[in-house]
Amino acid sequence: MQENRLSLAFCAAVLVSGACLAAVDEVPYRGGERPADARPGECWCLFTIPAQYKTESFQCMVKPESCRFEVIPAEYETRTERVCVRPESKRCITIPAEYREESYQHMVCGEKTRKEKIPAVYEERTEQVCVEKERTIKHKIPAVFKTEEYQVQVCAPTTQWKRMDCPANGSNDANIKMERGECWCLVTIPAKFETRCKQVCVEKEKCVEECIPAKFETRTKRVCVEREKCNEIKIPAVYETRTRKVCSRPEGKTYEVIPAEFTTVEKRVCVKPEAKQKIPVPAVYETKTREVCVAPASRVWRRVECDKAQNTSVENGNVVK
């Protein structure tokens, strides 16, 4: 254990001597990997840098802020008051009704009406009555035709070659001879016609209307000159004189006012009600200390000189000779 501490001290001395170099030649430790930028002939040591702490003080609340209440008693005083012992009232007094005798007409039988029937008045009158209405009869006149002749082409005109009889010496040149029967001519054959007949309408078929006048006859009928009617005859109503008791003044009421009765009494009145006053109580604090980690522990690779680190090996932060 002591040897390990000496080795660490030795490595620390070597690193302090090359502080400038160590600041540059330092690689953070990443698991089991070695420094990636190491060159042949270089020595690298794994160092564990312990965590750094500092002591700081802080305020701790021992008792939280609160409040208390102080009771302020109510205030009373004696007062006099006029109190109604019996309220005002009314007494009802009835005044009897007054009556008188009077005569009036009473209808024994109501008004009536009697109907008198007047018969209708008739007279004989003659008038022309249409027995048969005017009508129209249509007569059909057939169409008139005549026969006409016309030419119809049966065969169209054509041309045809025909053999012609020509003289043997038909040419002026004596050396040229033409044989008889070797002459052809293009002949026009005229068209062939035949006569045919056809029916031509001279006058179209038509209809002639004949008007037959209406037929009338004289008839006699009974006509109502004045309709049947009814006359109403009014029969007046029948009355008789009677007497009756009539109220000249109806029953009435009057009220007598009875005044109210009062008395004076004393009573204790609350002038100011009981109340509570809120008094705040501040919180209580005390000063305490605690250790705070300034920098956590870490592991780094650092390059050292090989001639000063002879026979020295570092494994997991422990330096072994």
Model confidence at 16: pLDDT above 60: no
Band (pLDDT 50/70/90 cuts) for residue 79 is confident
Residue-wise pLDDT tens digits, 124-178: 888 888 888 888 888 888 888 888 888 888 888 887 766 665 544 444 445 444 4
Phi, psi of 276 (to 5 degrees): -125, 140
Q: Tell me the HSE value of 315 on the side-chain side, using a 13 A CA sphere.
A: 3
Distance, CA of 286 to CA of 121 (rounded, Å): 140
Using alpha carbons, select from 264, 229, 216 the residue that is nearest to residue 85.
Answer: 264
Distance, CA of 5 to CA of 12 (rounded, Å): 10
Length of the chain, in residues: 321
Mean pLDDT for 262-279 is 87
Domain limits of the chain? 2-51+296-320
- How close are the terminal C-alpha atoms of the chain, in Å? 12
The pLDDT value recorded for residue 320 is 34
The pTM (predicted TM-score) of the whole model is 0.27
Distance, CA of 11 to CA of 320 (rounded, Å): 11
**Over pLDDT 90: what percentage of the chain?**
0
157 three-state secondary structure: coil
Distance, CA of 191 to CA of 187 (rounded, Å): 13
Using alpha carbons, select from 73, 134, 72, 67 the residue that is nearest to residue 278.
Answer: 67
Model confidence at 15: pLDDT above 70: no
Residue-wise pLDDT tens digits, 243-265: 888 888 888 888 888 898 888 88
Residue-wise pLDDT tens digits, 184-226: 666 788 888 888 898 888 888 888 888 889 888 888 888 888 8
Distance, CA of 307 to CA of 41 (rounded, Å): 10
Q: Indicate if the alpha-carbon torsion angle 77, 80, 86, 87 is positive or negative.
A: negative
Distance, CA of 25 to CA of 42 (rounded, Å): 11
**Over pLDDT 70: what percentage of the chain?**
79
CA distances from 205 to 140, 142, 197, 211 (A): 8, 5, 22, 20
Distance, CA of 304 to CA of 310 (rounded, Å): 11
Whole-number CA gyration radius for the chain? 81
Mean pLDDT for 93-108 is 87
Distance, CA of 283 to CA of 64 (rounded, Å): 5
Mean pLDDT rounded to a whole number for the chain: 78
The pLDDT value recorded for residue 10 is 42
Q: Among all chains, which residue has been given the structure tokens 């006058």? A: 203
Token digits for 103? 């005569």
Model confidence at 50: pLDDT above 70: yes
Band (pLDDT 50/70/90 cuts) for residue 69 is confident
User: What 8-state DSSP symbol labels residue 282?
Assistant: -
Q: Among all chains, which residue has been given the structure tokens 């009421």? A: 253
